[in-house]
């Protein structure tokens, strides 16, 4: 549904939960410390899963996930996403038991012996063009590629589409290969700074990492959603009762009139008996497949399956 409010009510028979919040605008904490502080608030005994709904305008998503990992127990699965604002990039809102407001981050911790959770992520985007080296960056701000202003190079690749920035950047994210990570990851450009000739990304982009532009099509995106659903199901003992889907807003822009296909692929795999809800995001939170620590992803379909 677009231009609508969607409500999903969840009731547990055997499991219980705690909800913790923080606000990046009202505290002295940076994104890393905010993530660390959120996990530290939970009762640790029996904590199985934390689902994070974070504001998406001011947070550095990759630093947030590093903070979440810093104090999490090894077995703890953390998934979720950053709120999105379609392609407007004006403001994102979130709340728990109060009026929605900017800067808010909500973490829901799930407990219970019979509580079962599984996840999967898939993108469906393909790198193209030459690899460039990040010669200057600071946190999530990209200054230079191969010693040249990053924004100038990016505009050159986009051609006429550069007039539609920052929205057009959702169709051409960056594939990043870093020596600090085993797997390459995707970074979406959230905004551009014309005055400083820089690009602001959804998460950190390390210096000396290699980047390439990426592109996709409707069929690849729909297929990636199907793969994510299959993978999430394979990790389970019981049938899922609830599916939480976090899909990047960039995928919605590519799908356009065929936007429902991504959801239909997931339903075809997990079945119509499973309740499905979710949102379009500026960044998805989950571990890489076969890994434990959560990461910030862009342009993926991230699926969390829950049952008790």
pLDDT digits (tens, 9 = 90+) for 227-274: 999 999 998 999 999 999 999 999 998 999 999 999 999 999 999 999
Q: What is the DSSP letter of 208?
A: T
What pLDDT does 151 receive? 93
In the prediction, which pLDDT does 190 show? 81
Q: Could you read off the pLDDT of 179-231 as tens digits, one per residue?
A: 888 889 999 888 889 999 999 998 889 999 999 999 999 999 999 999 999 99
**Which element (helix H / strand E) includes 252?**
helix 249-255
CB within 8 Å of 223: residues ≥ 6 apart: 124, 265
Q: What residues have CB less than 8 Å from 148, skipping those under 6 apart? A: none
Give CA–CA dist 113/99, Å, rounded: 34
Sign of CA dihedral 288, 294, 298, 300: positive
Confidence tier at 119 by pLDDT (50, 70, 90)? very high
In whole numbers, what is the pLDDT of the chain averaged over residues?
Answer: 93
Instruction: For residue 29, give both structure tokens.
Output: 């904490």
Q: How confident is the model over 38-90, as pLDDT tens digits?
A: 999 999 999 999 999 999 988 899 999 999 999 888 889 999 999 999 888 88
Q: For residue 94, what are the CA distances in angstroms to 78, 81, 83, 289?
A: 18, 12, 8, 28
| Token representation of residue 172 | 């051409």
User: Tell me: the pLDDT tens digits for 271-299?
Assistant: 999 999 999 999 999 999 888 899 999 99
User: What pLDDT does residue 227 have?
Assistant: 97
Residue 179, both tokens: 């020596």
């Amino acid at each position: 549904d677009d231009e609508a409010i969607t409500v999903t009510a969840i009731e547990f028979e055997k499991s219980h939960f705690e909800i913790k919040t923080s606000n990046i605008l009202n505290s002295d904490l940076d994104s890393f410390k905010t993530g660390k502080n959120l996990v530290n608030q939970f009762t640790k005994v029996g904590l199985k899963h934390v689902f994070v709904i974070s504001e998406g305008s001011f947070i550095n998503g990759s630093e947030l996930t590093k903070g979440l990992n810093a104090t999490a127990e090894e077995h703890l699965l953390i998934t979720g996403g950053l709120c999105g604002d379609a392609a407007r990039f004006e403001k994102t809102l979130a709340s728990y038991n109060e009026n929605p407001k900017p800067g808010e981050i909500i973490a829901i911790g799930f407990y219970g012996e019979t509580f079962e959770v599984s996840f999967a992520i898939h993108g469906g985007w393909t790198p193209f063009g030459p690899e460039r080296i990040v010669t200057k960056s600071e946190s999530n701000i990209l200054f230079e590629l191969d010693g040249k202003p990053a924004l100038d190079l990016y505009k050159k690749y986009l051609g006429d589409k550069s007039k539609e920035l920052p929205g057009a950047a959702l169709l051409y994210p960056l594939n990043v290969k870093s020596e600090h990570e085993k797997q390459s990851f995707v970074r979406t450009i959230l905004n551009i700074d014309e005055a400083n000739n820089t690009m602001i990304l959804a998460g950190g982009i390390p210096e000396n990492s290699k980047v390439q532009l990426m592109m996709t099509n409707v069929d690849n995106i729909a297929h990636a959603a199907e793969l994510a659903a299959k993978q999430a199901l394979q990790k389970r003992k019981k049938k899922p009762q609830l599916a939480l889907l976090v899909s990047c807003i960039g995928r919605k822009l590519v799908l356009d009139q065929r936007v429902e296909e991504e959801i239909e692929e997931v339903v075809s795999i997990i079945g119509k008996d499973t309740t499905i809800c979710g949102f379009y995001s500026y960044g998805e939170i989950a571990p890489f497949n076969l890994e434990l620590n959560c990461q910030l992803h862009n342009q993926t379909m991230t699926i969390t399956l829950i049952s008790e």
